[in-house]
Structure 1
């Protein structure tokens, strides 16, 4: 909802907050009544004081196509209105993509919205659409790609649209993005992680099965020395690890601190993975990292009581 803190407009009896609120609520008749009563000629001057959001930003995010059409067709002074920005350089098309408003997204593109517009931190509408895991989000990705959105663009952290889709785990979205940009699979973020690292970290087995055979290096390392399999130790279970092992990923590996998957799983509290590793004797229960810490030591440091009990049952050294 619109907060009371809005920028006052000298010479205007209508407060920005009042106009923005009715546009956000989507009651077109009240919007029209306010426009007529106060002779509003330019709705872009009504902005939220903190975010800089305009009526169009808010109507788009709330999904009110009737208000969106009215602002763009009956009350717009020029085509530039559809590309109005807030204080973060966020445009209405960003909101349509972020909130999965596919019909509004299609409309804004038709009205001339800039498809690859950058907001603060260099996020594009396509990137924002890829952060969600829903049919509506997928439809937004389809719409943007068909409108020639560039899936290879990267934000300030080096993440592209595929990286973000691998975090949300929508397999349809991942497959579509790879179709448009096959080379994105091996592109690394600023901290050296590729799409497989991210899918593994978040435990998305289907994504791993799709990406793994296409990756140049199943055991690629990020800036901390982690491979996708090591990243999977933070996923909360052992699903990702199983998928990676089935693809032939190396499990006798460690990161820059000489921590293996058992070290990482122990301190993260990943009970299924710890049990899986110990039951199959994949790794030495008393292996030490560069600081001479064993998995049991790390479990104690991180107060992982359940993990500590498991290690005791397997007679780990104290």
Structure 2
């Protein structure tokens, strides 16, 4: 039996367990071409990881190269995307269609990675080649979740145009809208919020978009949500957005919620009403506050 070349043994050893390596070391010469292609694949992986664009490009000219190799469960496309190497990314997509749906050990696809890195050109290329925009990672998030959480307005617009489902929630009940509100990305919220567009949906804590907007004290987002049909629902502790506003020093939001129909007398699980909380936290100017509401 012929031995593998030292270069091949060392590089493959970093990606295979010892048992597999011993088996490969004893392989016949007839299988060396197959293993050489794997070596070229690992060479390309290393060049991408090292940011050597020139070397990466030259390696794509090899007649035999195994594109299925992985590094710490990352595909070549994942690494090319993370490095922002659009040329290699597009070459990989054209040569190996399975890349389009490939996921790492957390379920992250190349599309999600490109969205997170803000690589719009790569995102467009992936989608144009057929990547499903609604694939979820293991936590239930789609590419839109990441774009919304980052406040990437153009990315959100593109994904919505390409048919991504804005109503999908992750395993904790977080939709793209809830994430955008939580992070105060009003321009993204404006794209995602429409009457009947999941505006009343809540996460596993019972928080809807209005709860989150009030908690952040973001008057513009609260006004936008109310204008599009948001209601003062209760969270799992019975707290409405008005309960939350009453605990904060934001009279404008309290006034806006009440004028929009929020109930001052509804009780939470602690038997507290918003009116009682206003009295407790805003005693010094309660009369002015209630007067401004009634006027």
1:279 aligns to what?
284
Post-superposition CA distance 1:54-105 (Å, at most 9, x none): 22112213322223123223xx23x222221111221101112223222211
- TM-superposed CA distance for 1:250, in Å, is 4.8
Number of residue pairs aligned between Structure 1 and Structure 2: 254
User: Equivalent residues in 2 for 1:56-71 (5 A)?
Assistant: 56-71=77-92
| Structure 1 stretches lacking a partner, 5+ long | 266-272, 283-318
Give 1 or 2 for the bigger CA radius of gyration.
Answer: 2
Alpha-carbon distance in structure 1 between the residues aligned to 2:121 and 2:276: 48
2:7 aligns to what?
none
Alignment pair present for 1:220 and 2:238: no
Alignment pair present for 1:99 and 2:123: no
- TM-superposed CA distance for 1:252, in Å, is 6.0
Moved over 6 A (4+): 15-18, 260-265
Alpha-carbon distance in structure 2 between the residues aligned to 1:42 and 1:264: 65
| Structure 2 stretches lacking a partner, 5+ long | 1-12, 25-34, 288-295
Alpha-carbon distance in structure 2 between the residues aligned to 1:123 and 1:177: 16
Whether the 8 Å CA contact 1:197–1:227 is kept in 2: the answer is yes
The normalised TM-score by structure 2 is 0.73
Alignment pair present for 1:32 and 2:57: yes
The normalised TM-score by structure 1 is 0.68
2:131 aligns to what?
113
RMSD: 3.3
Whether the 8 Å CA contact 2:166–2:175 is kept in 1: the answer is yes
User: Equivalent residues in 2 for 1:111-260 (5 A)?
Assistant: 111-133=129-151, 137-179=152-194, 182-217=196-231, 219-232=232-245, 238-239=249-250, 242-248=252-258, 249-250=262-263, 255-258=268-271
Alpha-carbon distance in structure 2 between the residues aligned to 1:31 and 1:187: 46
Alignment pair present for 1:46 and 2:64: no
Aligned partner of residue 238 in structure 2, secondary structure:
coil
Alpha-carbon distance in structure 2 between the residues aligned to 1:71 and 1:199: 42
Q: Alpha carbons of 1:246 and 1:27: their partners in 2 closer, same or farther (altered >3 Å)?
A: same
Alpha-carbon distance in structure 2 between the residues aligned to 1:256 and 1:178: 29
